[in-house]
């Protein structure tokens, strides 16, 4: 559990540190955040079509999509949309590894489904 907490803390620190977008000092660029939430919704829809349960979780500072394998609920993950250090936006695993660029929903959905549905069910 401590390891998972450390990874989540790393992601939140990365998001906070990477806050410079278009010369601004925070991640509150309304257009970028709105686009990120929209892409999380598109991702959730794609993953639902692949047979996974999804829920958009609106956080105080960062939203995510919670993804659950219906056949094995212990196979679950929170996927975030956040900027990288260079300002480009990505989908992120909760352990602070990049999944795919924000604009590549299909690649993100494929990777997430592969991890959460290893047997294809």
pLDDT in tens, 22-34: 344 455 578 888 8
pLDDT of residue 32: 86
The yes-or-no verdict on residue 118 having pLDDT over 90 is no
Of 15-24, 38-47, 88-97, least confident by mean pLDDT is 15-24
| CB atoms near residue 95 (< 10 Å) | 13
Vertex 85, ends 79 and 90: CA angle to 5°?
A: 30
Mean pLDDT of the region 87-102: 95
Helix (H) or strand (E) holding 108: helix 105-116
What string of DSSP letters covers 7-67?
A: HHHHHHHHHHHT--BTTBSSS--HHHHHHHHHHHHHHHHHHHHTTEEEEEE--SS--EEEE
pLDDT in tens, 22-78: 344 455 578 888 899 999 999 999 999 999 999 999 876 678 999 999 999 999 999
- What is the C-alpha to C-alpha distance for residues 9 and 4, in angstroms, rounded to an integer? 9
pLDDT of residue 114: 96
Instruction: Return the DSSP state at 114.
Output: H
């Amino acid at each position: 559990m401590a390891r998972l907490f450390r990874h989540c803390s790393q992601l939140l620190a990365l998001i906070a540190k990477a806050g410079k977008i278009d010369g601004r000092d925070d991640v509150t660029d309304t257009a970028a955040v709105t686009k990120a939430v929209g892409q999380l919704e598109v991702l959730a829809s794609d993953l639902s079509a692949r047979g996974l349960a999804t829920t958009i979780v609106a956080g105080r500072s960062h939203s995510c999509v919670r993804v659950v394998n219906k056949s094995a609920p212990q196979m679950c993950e929170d996927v975030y949309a956040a900027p990288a250090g260079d300002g480009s936006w990505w989908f992120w695993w909760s352990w602070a590894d990049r999944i795919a660029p924000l604009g590549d929903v299909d690649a993100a959905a494929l990777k997430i489904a592969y991890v959460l549905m290893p047997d294809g069910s």
